[in-house]
Amino acid sequence: LVGADGPTHAGAYDIAYLSNLPGFTVMAAADEAELVHMVATAAAHDGGPIALRYPRGEGTGVALPETGIPIEIGKGRIVRKGSTVALLSLGTRLGECLAAAALLEDHGISVTVADARFVKPLDTALVEHLSRSHDCLLTVEEGAFGGFGAMVLHHLNAAGLLGKSHRVRNLFLPDHFIQQADPARMYDEAGLNTEQISRAVLDSLEIRTAQGPAQGMSRIRMNSLA
The domain limits of the chain are: 14-225
The pLDDT score that the predictor gives to residue 34 is 96
| C-alpha 101 chain-centroid distance | 13
Pick the CATH number of 14-225 from 3.40.50.2000, 3.40.50.300, 3.40.50.920, 3.40.640.10: 3.40.50.920
**pTM for the complete prediction?**
0.86
| Residue ranges of E strands in the chain | 25-28, 50-53, 77-80, 85-90, 111-115, 118-120, 136-141, 167-171
The pLDDT score that the predictor gives to residue 224 is 37
How many residues are given for the chain? 226
Contact (Cβ atoms closer than 8 angstroms) between residue 134 and residue 112: yes
Q: Which residues does 79 contact at the CB level (< 8 Å), separation at least 6?
A: 94, 98, 113, 114, 115
DSSP 76-137: -EEEE--SSEEEEEESTTHHHHHHHHHHHHTTT--EEEEE--EEES--HHHHHHHHHHSSEE
Q: What angle do CA 222, 117, 50 make, to 5 degrees?
A: 140
Give per-residue pLDDT as tens, 9-52: 567 789 999 999 999 999 999 999 999 999 999 999 999 999 99
The pLDDT score that the predictor gives to residue 143 is 85
Mean pLDDT by 10 residues, the chain (226 residues): 57 88 96 96 96 80 91 98 97 95 94 98 98 96 91 95 84 76 70 91 74 44 36
The pLDDT score that the predictor gives to residue 40 is 98
CA 132, CA 143: separation in Å to the nearest integer?
Answer: 25
